[in-house]
Copies of this chain bind each other. A is one copy, B any other.
Amino acid sequence: MKGPKNLGDLQLAILRALWERGEAPVATVHEDLSERGLALTTIATMLRKMEEKGLVSHREQGRQFLYRAEVDPELVQKNLVGDLVTRLFDGDPLALINHLLRAGEVELDELDDLRRAVANAEQKRTRRPK
A binding-site residues for B, Cβ under 8 Å: 9, 12-13, 74, 77-78, 80-82, 84-85, 87-88, 93-94, 96-103, 105-106, 108, 110-112, 114-115, 118-119, 122
Contacts and interface: CB of A to CB of B under 8 A. Distances in A.
Given A102-B118, A108-B119, A111-B111, 13 more contacts: A13-B87, A74-B102, A74-B103, A78-B99, A78-B105, A80-B88, A93-B105, A97-B97, A97-B111, A101-B114, A108-B118, A111-B115, A115-B115
Contacts of A77: 88, 99, 103
- Identical chains in the assembly: 2
Contact of A98 (B99, B118, B122): B118
A108 to B, nearest CB: 6
B81 A93 contact: no
A55 B103 CA distance: 21
Contact of A84 (B80, B106, B111, B122): B80
B93 A100 contact: yes
